[in-house]
Structure 1
Amino acid sequence: MTEITIRRMTGADLAPVMAIERATFPADAWTESMMRGELADQPRTRHYVVALLDGAVVAYGGLAAAGDQADVQTIAVLAEHRRLGIGRKIMDELLAEAVRRGAESVFLEVRADNESAQAMYDDFGFERIGTRVSYYDDGTDAIVMTRKTDG
């Protein structure tokens, strides 16, 4: 595998990012308008990154941060590039940004049926603190998780 590069997401990345979004979250994908809104708040309250493999966008992730709290908004990796550590690289960057912004805690929601993502978040020290019943558009619950930052 070629080295993965993580860089800040720009509007020029929207086409591949939206393709990954629709492929990864078919039941409840964000719209392009929603993603543009997230990018419009960058860098004020948002930090979005893409992962490049051989120059192509294969993953992305985003963080919202305000005050002493940050929220992982999303992480998505193309199916054929999963289990290669790309999601972990993105999470490392999002957590580092949370520290840079002075966040003391980071929160996220993860689908109750996404065991591989839950395992990654466990590895990063996130703890389950609750459930949002029928949170996703298809009725799947979300598990709410949090961790303190290392900052």
Structure 2
Amino acid sequence: MSPEQLAALHGRCFVTPRPWTAAEFAGLLSAPGCVLLTAPMGFLLGRVAGGEGELLTLAVAPEARRSGQGRALVERFLAHCAAEGAEAAFLEVASDNKAALGLYHRTGWDSVGRRPAYYAPGIDAVVMRHGLAQPA
């Protein structure tokens, strides 16, 4: 997916936090350790560095939600992080995004902190961690 395609889909999925621009996606994609995973109607952007993975954003088209694409992307990201030698992965998610919180809990993430009013007044960021299993 091109930065423009990523930005268009991101814009369909997010209001708060605000959708990212094509220029922001281009910058992230050019950074070392960047990981872009795609699905037919979604994508996950993350990075791996310094023994840690960071899930930056996950977007699945509204009409494709609850189809397993988000879960598959998260599981692929976790496997990639472990294969790269990361010991843990982190993410931040809006406290009012119940669907995402449920997905992350179901895929083994634990809430480890909060950033008050990180996204907007009254919308905290929930910091989550996944302890990765190293491949055999």
The TM-score normalised by the length of structure 1 is 0.82
Specify the SS of the correspondent of 1:88.
helix
Which residue identity is paired with 1:99? A
CA distances 1:51-97 after superposition (whole Å, capped 9, x unpaired): 12xxxxx1110111112111101100000000000001110111111
Report the counterpart of residue 5 of structure 2 in structure 1.
Answer: 16
**Are the equivalent residues in 2 in contact too, given 1:106–1:147 (CA < 8 A)?**
yes
Alignment equivalent of 2:98, drawn from 112, 115, 125:
115
Question: How many residue pairs end up in the alignment?
Answer: 132
> Does residue 1:71 correspond to 2:54, yes or no?
yes
Output the CA distance in 1 between the equivalents of 2:72 and 2:28.
21
Q: Percent identity?
A: 31
Report the counterpart of residue 99 of structure 1 in structure 2.
Answer: 82
Unaligned runs of 5+ in 1: 1-8, 53-57
Matches within 5 A, 1:1-151: 9=1, 13-27=2-16, 28-41=18-31, 44-52=32-40, 58-136=41-119, 138-139=120-121, 140-151=123-134
CA distances 1:38-62 after superposition (whole Å, capped 9, x unpaired): 1112xx311112212xxxxx11101
**Are the equivalent residues in 2 in contact too, given 1:107–1:144 (CA < 8 A)?**
yes
The TM-score normalised by the length of structure 2 is 0.91
- After superposing on structure 2, the runs of 4+ consecutive aligned residues of structure 1 that deviate more than 4 Å are none
Unaligned runs of 5+ in 2: none
